[in-house]
Amino acid sequence: MFSGSVKVNGVISTLGPSGTDSAHEARKHCSNVELFPSFSAAAAHAVETGGHALVPAGYLDFQNGELADSWVDLHFRLLGRMRIVDVWESPTKEMCLAINSERVQDRESIRSIALHPATAVFARQIPADAEITYFSSKPLAVGAAESGQVDACIGSVDVVAESSLTPVDFFHPTMVWALYESVQASPG
């Protein structure tokens, strides 16, 4: 236990859309992955179906600029309904700061940025007065930058590569993952 080597027969529920680190990591452990708009929805589905949910320890959810949810909040809400069956550290997909070249020419020109709250540390490396807009996943942040809602984003390199954005800086972090199993699926 607690090695990241668990292979799941059944379904792992986690955060979507396609392109999230959560979806990428879940597919390493199960061929049947279902994606949800939030970790709460993914966990609720796993509880209802007697399945599994994959949640990163770095999970943060901001609503209207305020912290609305986190891994620890979700973990405590799941007590008695789900239990952790494995925990491990694994590299995330490579990330980058990417700019919309139609709005700005370089990182010093960035005045607005889209990102997932867990990647805010990387945004602190750009001008301090940049307005931050939080999204529930990095693919959604990439979409906001590509559509011109903001000047830049923090996104996964593979997702940015499919967009019209220009990467200007790269990051190679790791994440700690918690694999939950519905208590109703557990023995005993």
Model confidence, pTM: 0.84
Q: What per-residue confidence (pLDDT) applies to 124?
A: 81
73: domain range?
Answer: 12-91+174-185
Domain for residue 104, yes or no? yes
The C-alpha atoms of residue 93 and residue 181 are separated, in whole angstroms, by 25
Helix (H, G, I), strand (E, B) or coil at 49: helix
Residues 133, 117: one domain?
Answer: yes
Q: What per-residue confidence (pLDDT) applies to 62?
A: 86
Q: What per-residue confidence (pLDDT) applies to 115?
A: 94
CATH number of the domain to which 117 belongs: 3.40.190.10
**Total structural domains within the chain:** 2
Residues 40, 22: one domain?
Answer: yes
Residues 87, 18: one domain?
Answer: yes
Domain for residue 7, yes or no? no
Domain for residue 127, yes or no? yes
Domain for residue 116, yes or no? yes
Domain for residue 1, yes or no? no
Q: How far is CA 179 from the centre of its chain?
A: 15
| CA dihedral of 111, 164, 115, 58, whole degrees rounded to 10 | -150
Q: What per-residue confidence (pLDDT) applies to 1?
A: 47
Backbone angles phi, psi at 155, to 5 degrees: -145, 170
Domain for residue 54, yes or no? yes
Residues 121, 164: one domain?
Answer: yes
Helix 71-78 to helix 39-49 angle (10° resolution) is: 20
Domain for residue 6, yes or no? no
Domain for residue 3, yes or no? no
| pLDDT per 10-residue tile (average), the chain, 188 residues | 73 95 95 96 97 96 89 97 96 96 94 94 81 94 98 97 97 96 72
Residues 81, 34: one domain?
Answer: yes
